[in-house]
Amino acid sequence: MAGLEGTEQPRGAGRATAARWSPAVEDEHALKALELFGNPTEHEVPLPSRPESAATARRLAQVVALRQWQLGPRVTEDTVLLVSELVGNAVRHTGARVFGLHMRRRPGWIRVEVRDPSRGLPCLMPVQDTDISGRGLFLVDKLSDRWGVDLLPRGKTTWFELRVVDR
């Protein structure tokens, strides 16, 4: 990714098959997360850079995708999984105390952004079947339609986009 900041990575029709976190019907935890942290579609939601924040981010993504945007189960599952991967990278690799989650929808697309104060670019590494870690960006690359990194004066935003059917 070095030198590719501000660019998107187009994706073809191929989709990876992976074990997914399966969102059950909206649960109380998802709605409570929305109440406590705010709505990531209205503004960037700041979350503490701790491993447990991945669960909060998943819940926020789930409630937005299912309740607000009324997306289907497949797109919701992909969104939740990819949010978890971007958040995991922000928590593990940036040294940040806080990161931000923002979700947007426009006709035919959703976009999820995770902003952190590190200017270190994520690196898409080759993945082997036997690897037990390091699959985060591989999944983002395979499941999203586009993804990229935008460098900011102080930090970066790592994002992905998924095509969606408008109802």
30 has a pLDDT exceeding 90: no
**Given this model, what pLDDT does residue 23 score?**
43
**Given this model, what pLDDT does residue 129 score?**
65
Nearest to 9 by CA among 151, 126, 142, 164: 142
Beta-carbon count within 10 A of 24 CB: 8
Overall average pLDDT of the 125-152 stretch? 82
115 has a pLDDT exceeding 70: yes
Going across the sheet that includes 98-106, the strands are 8-10, 146-152, 155-163, 109-116, 98-106, 45-48
Which residues, listed in sequence order, are joined to residue 45 by a DSSP beta bridge?
Answer: 101
Return the percentage of the chain with pLDDT > 70, whole number.
78
* 117 vs 33: which has the higher pLDDT: 117
CA contacts within 13 A on the Cβ side of 25: 0
